[in-house]
Structure formats: C-alpha cells, structure tokens
Amino acid sequence: NWKLEQSWSFGPSWTEIFWWWVVTGKLATYWR
C-alpha cells in the first residue's frame, strides 16, 4: 500500500492530472 502512495507521490500524480487537464480541455474545446 505504501508503495502505491510513494509511486504516486513521486510523479504519476501530477503527470496524470496534467494529461487529464489537457484531455478534458481539448474535449471541452471540441465539444463546444
């Protein structure tokens, strides 16, 4: 369990958030 939190703490968290922000932003732009 702590390994998952550690891995998320090191990188994937902000990278996934950033990618999700980009994807959602593009989707919203295309949806309009």
CA-to-CA distance for 20 and 3, rounded, in angstroms?
23
What is the pTM for the complete model shown? 0.39
Residue-level pLDDT at 18: 87
* 1-32: pLDDT as tens digits: 455 555 555 556 778 888 888 888 887 777 66
The dihedral over CA atoms of 21, 22, 28, 30, expressed in degrees to the nearest 10, equals -170
pLDDT at 9: 56
Q: What is the pLDDT of residue 11?
A: 57
Give backbone dihedrals phi and psi of 11, rounded to 5 degrees, phi first: -160, -60
Q: Note the pLDDT of residue 3.
A: 57
